[in-house]
Structure formats: structure tokens, C-alpha cells
Amino acid sequence: MPSLSHEAIVELFRNRPVLAAEILREAFDVALPSFTEARIESAELGDVMPRELRADLLVLLLDGKPVLAIIVEAQLHPPKQDKSFAWPAYLVGARARYKCPACLLLVTPDPALATRLAEPIVLGPGQAVITPFVLGPAGVRSWRTSRRRREGRNSRFCRRWRTGGRRRRSRWPSLQ
């Protein structure tokens, strides 16, 4: 059962799907395809693959048709099972279902885990490699800085993420 902190991360993206695209563009300098809509789609990707696969969230960017599927996964702790075998299947399932490119956005409050999760996932020989986008505390700082420059304001969520929410003895802000 996912924890409250895990669900808080997923809810941030569920409440504002375009946030996944903004993070990819601003924190990771990803050149996104042009899109007019970001919406939440079913994250159950099992109908394309023989076993059940369920991502935390799937954000689909559209411009009349799907242009990019973003799989969002919250990782509060090192995964008990090696997710590097499931995550590529999520991407392949989303790519097959929506007939568009797909990428993986991992979100974690733990700097050491962020470093570990950023390692490329080697699928096999040749150029079969998936490199996830990992948003950890350091990435939130750079994303917050670029966003603040653009919008001229500070984000309470980003400030609490950066400090680990120490004011409340929690690593996450409350969803008030």
C-alpha cells in the first residue's frame, strides 16, 4: 500500500498534469514536442504486456493526437524489487498504446536515491538503454530557480522539498 507521502507526489501531478512537462522542459532541458493539452490517462499498462503493469501515473501530452507519454513514478525509498525491469515495460506499453514517444520521470526526496535512480537502464547489447529523468532535491532547486525567474515568485512546495520540510518534521508539505 503506497504511503501518504508517495500519494502526495502522485497527487501533485494528478492535479496539474502539465507539471510533468514543465519539469522535463525546465529542470532537464528536454525539447518537448508542441502540445495543446496534458491529461491523465490510465496508468494500467497490462493490456499491452502479458502481465499486469501499473505505473503511479501516466501524463499524456496531446496536440490533436498523442505526442508524448510521461510515466511518473514516486520513489520515497529504494525499491524492494528491482524496478529497472518493470520501468522499461511501462515505457514500451505506453508507447504501443498511444503510438507516440514515452519517457520516465522518477521523483524522490532522497539525494542518494536520486543519484542511484539516474543510472541508465541497460536493456541489452547495442544502444538499448533507457535513461530516466530523476527529480530529486537538487533538481527541484534548479527547477525552482528557473521557474521563479520566469514567474517572479517562490513556490512553497519547492522550498519545503529543498529543506526536507523540516518546519513540520516531515519530508513533504501538507496538501492543504
pLDDT at 44: 72
Identify whether 95 is part of a domain. yes
Q: What is the DSSP letter of 44?
A: B
Identify whether 43 is part of a domain. yes
Identify whether 129 is part of a domain. yes
Spatial separation of the C-alpha atoms in residues 120 and 129, rounded to whole Å? 6
Residue type (1 letter), 74? A
Listed as ranges, residues in the chain with pLDDT below 70 are 1, 45-52, 125, 140-176
Count of the separate structural domains present in the chain? 1
Spatial separation of the C-alpha atoms in residues 35 and 117, rounded to whole Å? 28
Identify whether 132 is part of a domain. yes
Identify whether 175 is part of a domain. no
Spatial separation of the C-alpha atoms in residues 149 and 69, rounded to whole Å? 28
Other C-beta atoms lying within 10 Å of the C-beta of residue 75: 21
Spatial separation of the C-alpha atoms in residues 101 and 69, rounded to whole Å? 6
The pTM of the full predicted model, rounded to 2 decimals, is 0.67
Spatial separation of the C-alpha atoms in residues 148 and 62, rounded to whole Å? 26
Identify whether 53 is part of a domain. yes
Identify whether 173 is part of a domain. no
pLDDT at 176: 33
The range of the structural domain enclosing residue 155 comes to: 4-168
Identify whether 176 is part of a domain. no
